[in-house]
């Protein structure tokens, strides 16, 4: 999953405009079914080691984020609906 830093994103729209699967939303466009993904995105940064979770903490070549187990459960629920 692609993760967006919840406090660094300025909602410029660049990634939203190029996402090939239309998976990125502005905060005010998130519907009820998608809110769990927003919460999961924020949780991944909270759980990240080191300074990755802090604004400005990500550096090119730095550690990558790991998909949490809850993601596969969420995707499974979405597919079965």
Q: Please report, as ranges, the residues that interact with ligand SF4 according to CB under 6 A.
A: 4, 9-16
- Helix 69-80 / helix 35-47 crossing angle, nearest 10 deg: 170
Q: How far is the CB of 8 from ligand SF4 (least distance, A)?
A: 7
Q: How far is the CB of 13 from ligand SF4 (least distance, A)?
A: 5
Q: Of 51, 43, 50, 49, which is closest to residue 68 (Cα–Cα)?
A: 43
Q: Give the whole-angstrom CA distance, residue 35 versus residue 27.
A: 10
Q: How far is the CB of 12 from ligand SF4 (least distance, A)?
A: 4
Of 10 and 21, which CB lies nearer to ligand SF4 in the complex structure?
A: 10
């Amino acid at each position: 999953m692609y993760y967006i830093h919840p406090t660094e994103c300025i909602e410029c729209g660049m990634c939203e405009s190029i996402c090939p699967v239309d998976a990125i939303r502005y905060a005010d466009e998130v519907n009820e079914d998608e809110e769990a993904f927003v919460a999961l995105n924020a949780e991944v940064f909270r759980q990240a080691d080191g300074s990755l979770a802090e604004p400005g903490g990500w550096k090119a070549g730095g550690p990558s984020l790991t998909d949490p187990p809850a993601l596969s459960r969420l995707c499974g629920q979405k597919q079965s609906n």
